[in-house]
């Protein structure tokens, strides 16, 4: 193709060379994103070094064809900036090149998105948000949508209504990204994380956790997304709060395998292991309570402490009459125990690094001890040792598995709403219920 510059003609095929440069940069990203398709997971520690080698080869070709900048300066700057942006670390040169690209061609959506990613790596979230928003002005695309979803969820507000709005906006943007390309696993990861933010920012609902896992399951169908350590880390967080502890530990471990230098999955796995060890020990020892004190506790348990649940039935919030039969902890079956109520006394609380859920051990009059996890409870409104607690229609899980060299075994009752509990003969009030917002560690999703 003939190209005229400063009145001089050139026979160089600039269009063909630009296509070659574009394909080379795309192949660089394919090499990075498909690394574990072509390399065993044991090579994870070498991934960034291998990508950097590919980057150097790509940059050499770009530098050898710098004269292409005179053919399409915006596109050339974009390609070189995008190449430099392939590594996890921030590149000032990439930022400068991408900034030039969008100035030369403000409609270059890909450059706006890449510049936004570059700013994000440098913790300049405000400028990153501006870039993604500018990209959307020139064309709706999944990258801008899911990036803005992440940013919306990372914003902080002390006002509960504003928190809900930010989480809701993030969820809607993530859904829109998935709709644009249902086969892109990265968008499904962002949608799963948006649901997880909703779990902590709006309501700790088991339905929301299932929506998280459904999105992560869709993400795993994408070979690129499946090797993303963030997917497995956030899936582990979800499984932890769904109290699928063994699968949660497996997912933390998988996240560590894909990125061995990332310490957070290892730390979270250690914390979860310690939490499960503590529950196992405290349930088995009835809160490490001395024999005399334990007997005093057992003898003080009386059906009168059932309070409003003591008459054989109660009226639900919807106005329905629900029958309730008092049963022993031993009589419960795994799953939902409809029309049953259990009564016991608190013998200890269990320390939980996150504070969610509030966990304590409950003993009944026969000395049977179980763990109880309470979600959606306001800070500092948990029960204390000696409190009599009645739980209607308890949901029960029998936890028993081995992990590494440790064995975990205990019975667990999950309480979604603290207001269903009767404590010391009285139903808990509205002030005990609260949506707890927790900071979820995120690297890029």
pLDDT at 159: 79
**264: CB partners within 8 A, 6+ apart:** 233, 441
Give the per-residue pLDDT at 2: 36
Are 128 and 98 in contact by the 8 Å Cβ rule? The answer is no
Helices (H), 286-435: 291-299
Domains in the chain with CATH codes = 14-276 (1.25.40.10), 284-428 (2.40.50.550)
pLDDT at residue 5, as a whole number: 42
Residues 6+ positions from 203 with CB-CB distance below 8 Å: 376, 435
pLDDT at 386: 95
The residue whose two tokens read 């003939």 is: 2
Angstrom distance (rounded) from CA 74 to CA 104: 5
Quote the CA–CA distance of 45 and 329 in Å, as a whole number: 49
pLDDT number for residue 151:
95
- List, for the chain, all residue ranges whose pLDDT scores fall below the cut of 70: 1-11, 316-317, 434-445
């Amino acid at each position: 193709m003939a190209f005229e510059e400063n009145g001089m003609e050139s026979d160089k095929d600039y269009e063909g060379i630009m296509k070659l440069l574009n394909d080379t940069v795309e192949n660089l990203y394919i090499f990075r994103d498909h690394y574990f398709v072509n390399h065993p997971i044991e090579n994870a520690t070498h991934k960034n070094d291998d990508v950097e080698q590919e980057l150097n080869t790509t940059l050499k070709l770009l530098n050898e064809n710098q004269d292409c900048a005179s053919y399409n300066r915006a596109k050339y700057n974009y390609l070189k900036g995008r190449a430099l942006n392939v590594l996890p670390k921030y590149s000032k040169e990439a930022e400068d090149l991408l900034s030039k690209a969008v100035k030369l061609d403000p409609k270059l959506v890909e450059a706006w998105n890449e510049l936004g990613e570059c700013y994000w790596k440098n913790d300049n979230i405000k400028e990153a948000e501006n870039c993604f928003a500018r990209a959307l002005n020139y064309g709706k695309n999944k990258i801008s949508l899911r990036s803005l979803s992440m940013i919306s969820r990372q914003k902080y507000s002390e006002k509960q209504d504003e928190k809900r709005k930010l989480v809701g906006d993030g969820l809607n943007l993530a859904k829109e990204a998935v709709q644009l390309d249902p086969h892109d696993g990265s968008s499904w990861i962002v949608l799963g994380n948006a649901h997880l933010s909703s779990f902590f920012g709006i309501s700790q609902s088991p339905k929301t956790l299932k929506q998280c896992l459904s999105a992560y399951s869709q993400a795993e169908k994408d070979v690129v997304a499946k090797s993303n350590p963030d997917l497995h880390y956030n899936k582990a967080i979800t499984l932890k709060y769904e109290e699928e502890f063994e699968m949660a530990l497996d997912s933390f471990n998988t996240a560590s395998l894909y990125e061995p230098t990332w310490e957070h999955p290892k730390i979270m796995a250690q914390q979860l292991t310690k939490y499960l060890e503590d529950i196992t020990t405290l349930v088995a020892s009835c809160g490490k309570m001395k024999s005399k004190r334990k007997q005093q506790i057992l003898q003080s348990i009386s059906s009168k402490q059932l309070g409003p649940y003591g008459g054989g039935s109660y009226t639900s919030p919807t106005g329905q009459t629900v029958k309730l039969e008092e049963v022993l902890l031993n009589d419960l079956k795994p799953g939902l125990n409809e029309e049953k109520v259990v009564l016991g006394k608190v013998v200890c609380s269990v320390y939980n690094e996150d504070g969610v859920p509030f966990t304590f051990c409950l003993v009944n009059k026969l000395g049977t001890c179980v763990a109880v996890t309470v979600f959606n409870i306001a800070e500092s409104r948990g029960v204390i040792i000696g409190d009599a607690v009645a739980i209607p229609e308890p949901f029960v899980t029998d936890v028993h598995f081995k992990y590494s060299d440790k064995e975990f075994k205990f019975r667990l009752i999950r309480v979604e709403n603290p207001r269903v509990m009767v404590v010391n003969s009285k139903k808990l009030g509205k002030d005990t219920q609260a949506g707890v917002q927790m900071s979820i560690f995120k690297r890029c999703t």
